[in-house]
Structure 1
């Protein structure tokens, strides 16, 4: 678990630390027109790779695949530190994204192998604490590296941490017995290509329709191919499982509704005159609320089941949406912090319960891919939500009307998420 936590801390810090240092990196390397792609290459690749990695771990075991992810991430970090042009950085960030995509599902997968359902809430809370720690450490480390050494150290710092994670992983005794089978390579390629095309519609500015059409056609071909494969990379019977597909759909809709708010709340606070540091502190409210419900949620699922808790989580999400609609110019920091706490309670309940359900409601040899698909649903929903919110914000008459439209979208979308959760009421 120490190995897993360090790997998770490295991956989460890398996501946040580059946000604060990227303007300086772009200024030194040039190619500012490629600025957004330094984030997009990492996001697209890591999102696509995660479910594939989960499935391969079902076939070949957790330890080896997780170690491969750490090594690829280490290599990508080293290459990013050597980058001399923006194009090189984008390509090397994609390598990092492959490693991160392989690593991301394993905290939940391995904890699912090691701990019974009633104890997994505590473990999930511990993982959430790592995200909170990275949110605090990353901006400070980024500022220190830029001021006293070079931005390249935001990538080099990953190397010793990855090595420590690998060394600690040696002690892990595999408890899952893999069901070995031939890897569905073509299915993995089709899945990656189709999802990548759809995700690129959120970052490209021209020919968006062409990317969308290509993505749909490729994924349809993927579906036809997977129906005939004896060991598909994404088992289609997962979608026939009403409980699993319902949890994935609800996670997608909840993330598309309001998970992206965390990307825009700091901007709102900065418009109100708060510093970069203070605006970042508001996001700690999400981590606080998340941990409060994550710790006991494992026991709650044993006592009350999955459906009721996910419905309660969605009701809390709507409450946070109502509170966001009441935001106006001059709203204080502590009100916004309290909104983030309520949102943390909502997502902490929805995600922890859905993660436990995605592991308990499938066979052992599908636990990895099922957990990864739950994570995949959240990532896709977040990408959609952030894009739609950004469009509302930029098209407003002024920044505050843009924020109001953004929050109105989130509130309405959270009502749709709540409606979807009632499919799970008997689970």
Structure 2
């Protein structure tokens, strides 16, 4: 678990620290018009790789695949530190994204192997704590590296931490016995290509319909190919499992509704003349609320079941959405912090309970892919939500009308997410 926690801290801190330092990096390397692609290459690749990595771990074991993910992430970090052009940085960030995509599902997968359901909430609270810690450490480290050394050290710092994680992982005696089978290489390629084409529509401004159409065609081909494969990379039986499918639908809709708000709340507070540091502190409200419900949620699932708890989480999400609607010019820090706490309570309950459910309602040799698909659904929903919110924000008559339109979208979308939670029945 120490190995997993360190790896998660590295991945989460890398995601946060690049937000702080990327303007400086782009200024030094040139090619500012490629700025967005330094984020997009990482996001697209890591999102696509995660479910594939989870499935391969079902076939070949957690420890081996997790180790490979750490090594690839470490290589990508080293290459990013050596980058001399924006094109190089974008390509090397994609390598990092491969490693991150392999790494990120494993905290929950390995926790599912090691702990019974009633204890997994406490473990996930530790994982949430790593995201909270990275939210504080990353901006501070980014500023220190830029001022006293070089931005390249935001990538080099990952290397010793990855080595420590690997050293600790070496002692791990894997409990899961893999069910070895032939890897569905063509299925993995079709899945990665189709999803990548669809995700590109969130970062490109031209040929969006062409990317969408091509992505749908490839995914349809993937579906028919997987139906005939003896060991598919994404077992379609999971999609026929009603509760699993419902959990994934709700994960997508809830993230598309409000999870992306965290990307815009600091900007709102900065418009209210709060500093970068203070505006970032508001996001600690999410971590606080998350940990409050994550710790006991494992025991709650045994008492009340998955469906009821996910519905309660979605009700809290609707309440957070309603609170956002009244935010306007002059809204103070503590009100925004309170909204973030409610949002943390909502997603802490939805994510923790859905993760446990996605593991408990499948066979042991499908636990990896089921957990990864849950993460994949959330990532896709977040990408869609952030993109839609950004469009509302930039098209407003002024910044505050843009924020209001963004919040109206989030509230309405949270109602659809709540409605989808009633599909989770008999669990």
Question: What interval of TM-score do these two structures reach, taking the shorter chain for normalisation?
Answer: over 0.9
Looking at structure 1, the residues matched to 18 and 75 of structure 2 have their Cα atoms a distance apart, in angstroms, of 17
What displacement does 1:425 show?
A: 4.0
Q: Are residue 131 (structure 1) and residue 131 (structure 2) matched?
A: yes
Alignment of 1:338 with 2:370, yes or no, is no
Partner of 1:423: helix, strand, or coil?
Answer: coil
- Runs of 4+ aligned residues of structure 1 deviating over 3 Å after TM superposition are none
CA RMSD between the two structures: 0.4
Inter-partner Cα distance in structure 2 for 1:245 and 1:144: 45
Structure 2: distance between partners of 1:130 and 1:353: 19
- In the alignment, is the contact (CA less than 8 A) between 1:311 and 1:425 conserved in 2? no
Which digits, 9 at most, give the CA deviation of each residue in 1:143-171, with x for residues without a partner? 00000000000000000000000000001
Are 2:4 and 1:4 equivalent residues in the alignment?
yes
* Corresponding position of 1:295: 295
Q: Distance in 2 between matches of 1:205 and 1:168?
A: 44
SS in 1 for 2:175: coil
Aligned to 2:113: 113
> Aligned pair 1:398/2:389, yes or no?
no
Q: 2: CA distance between counterparts of 1:392 and 1:149? A: 39
| Aligned equivalent of 1:98 | 98
Local SS of the residue matching 1:331: coil
Q: Deviations over 1:318-345 (max 9, x none)?
A: 0000000010110000000000000000
User: Are 2:267 and 1:257 equivalent residues in the alignment?
Assistant: no
Give the 3-state SS of the residue equivalent to 2:422 in structure 1.
Answer: helix
Is residue 47 of structure 2 the alignment partner of residue 47 of structure 1? yes
Give the distance between the partners of 2:75 and 2:350, measured in 1 at CA: 34
Q: Quote the residue 2:372 is aligned against.
A: 372
Measured in 1, the distance between the counterparts of 2:235 and 2:426 equals 24
Distance of 1:290 and 1:32 partners within structure 2: 36
Q: Which runs of 5+ in 2 are unaligned?
A: none
SS of match in other structure, 1:36: helix
Separation in 2, partners of 1:376, 1:117: 21
Partner of 1:190: 190
- Is the Cα contact below 8 Å between 1:290 and 1:348 reproduced in 2? yes
How do residues 207-246 of structure 1 correspond to structure 2 at under 5 angstroms?
A: 207-246=207-246
**Is it true that 1:352 corresponds to 2:352 in the alignment?**
yes
**Structure 2 counterparts to residues 302-317 of structure 1, below 5 A:** 302-317=302-317
Rounded to whole Å, the distance in 2 between the matches of 1:187 and 1:416 is 32
**2:69 aligned partner:** 69
Partner Cα distance (2:426, 2:185) in 1: 37
How far apart are the structure 1 equivalents of 2:393 and 2:425?
35
- For 2:47 and 2:144, the matched residues in 1 are separated by 30
Does structure 2 conserve the Cα–Cα contact (< 8 Å) formed by 1:310 and 1:421? yes
TM-score, L = length of structure 2: 1.00
How far 1:423 moved relative to its partner?
A: 1.1
Instruction: Give the conservation status (yes or no) of the 8 Å contact 2:313–2:349.
Output: yes
Alignment-derived partner of residue 36 in structure 1: 36
Q: What is the count of residue pairs matched by the alignment?
A: 427
TM-score by length of 1: 1.00
Are the aligned partners of 2:243 and 2:425 in contact in 1 as well (CA < 8 Å)? no
Task: Tell me if the contact between 2:285 and 2:338 (Cα under 8 Å) persists in the aligned partners.
Answer: yes
Residues in 2 aligned to 1:424 and 1:13: alpha-carbon distance in whole angstroms: 34
Unaligned runs of 5+ residues in structure 1 are none
Q: Deviations over 1:354-409 (max 9, x none)?
A: 00000000000000000000000000000000000000000100000000000000
